[in-house]
Amino acid sequence: MIYKGVFMALKIWLDGKLVDEADARISVFDHGLLYGDGVFEGIRVYSGKIFKLDAHIKRLYQSAKVIRLEIPLSQSKLVNAIEKTVEANGVIDGYIRLVVTRGTGNLGLNPFVCEKSIIFIIADNIQLYPEELYETGMKVISATTVRNHPLAIPPQVKSLNYLNNILAKIEALDSNVPEAIMYNHEGYVAEATGDNVFIVRNGVIYTPPVEAGALEGITRGVVIRLAKEENLEVVEKNLTRFDLYVCDEFFLTGTAAEVIGVVEIDGRVIGDGTPGTVTKLLRKKFFEYAHGREK
């Protein structure tokens, strides 16, 4: 990474200490690598402050509990490790990837043979989409890949097994668009491959409930609260493809994406083909909130 004009080798927090990026290695027998067995969080840093860290830590431990993965650090010690990693890399406005793998085991599926879970933390810069895309809005498609059934893995678990989302992402890239909307087994909107979905119709904001297969996003929660503070009505309800086609506005939220407008889905133009007034307002309000510039 480049910090204040000087190239710096990344420092990775791995298994209890900071190491150079070149020395950050895990075993090929780690079940996180072999089977996608683990959990993670993506966290933002704004103006030198880690954004909604407590909420991310809480979700990480909840995800780990659901898959019966023991995190070998207390929450306070993990927070300290994250702060040290951010400081060591001089990250002012950037991104943290916090990962907990099942640890080293054997070639069988049994997770309980793994010696101990492994934690690693990466803190670096990120820009998911080019800035002009936030001004013009993005095009998306409907994925044919169905969101994982909630009885297979609860959508609230942010696991390392992202193949479901990756297959939908491939569909988007094959169609020369950056994102795809995923539907659940009942045909209702779940989420995008990496973001939560919102639409606006007749002045009301709608977003799929978690039960539809959506991750309970941290940014999603902040945006809902900011919308209500602006006296905008927010309704969580099942949405169909029809709802997306006929809405007045359409936007996505996520840790990396923040708030970004969608202007076309499956060849259908949304509104006037530009990000709408509610989308622009909430993007502005989120930026001010994240950077501590609220009035």
Number of other residues whose CB lies within 10 A of the CB of residue 218? 23
Q: What distance in Å separates the CA atoms of residue 220 and residue 11, rounded to the nearest whole number?
A: 30
Q: What distance in Å separates the CA atoms of residue 286 and residue 4, rounded to the nearest whole number?
A: 27
Cα→Cα distances 72→40, 85, 217, 288, Å: 14, 18, 25, 36
DSSP readout, 194-220? SSEEEEEETTEEEE--GGGT----HHH
Residue 258 token pair: 């923040």
Active-site annotation holder among 11, 52, 158, 169: 158
Number of other residues whose CB lies within 10 A of the CB of residue 225? 12
Q: Helix, strand or coil for residue 243?
A: helix
> Is 78 buried (19+), middle (13-18) or exposed (0-12) by CB count in 10 A?
buried
Cα→Cα distances 157→15, 23, 198, 276, 281, Å: 23, 29, 21, 32, 30
Q: Is 52 a catalytic residue?
A: no
Q: In what order do the strands lie in the sheet with 94-101?
A: 17-20, 11-14, 118-124, 94-101, 38-46, 49-50
Query: Per DSSP, what are the bridge partners of residue 19?
Result: 12
Residue 232 token pair: 């905008």
Q: How many CA atoms lie within 13 A of 57 on its CB side?
A: 16
Catalytic residues: 158
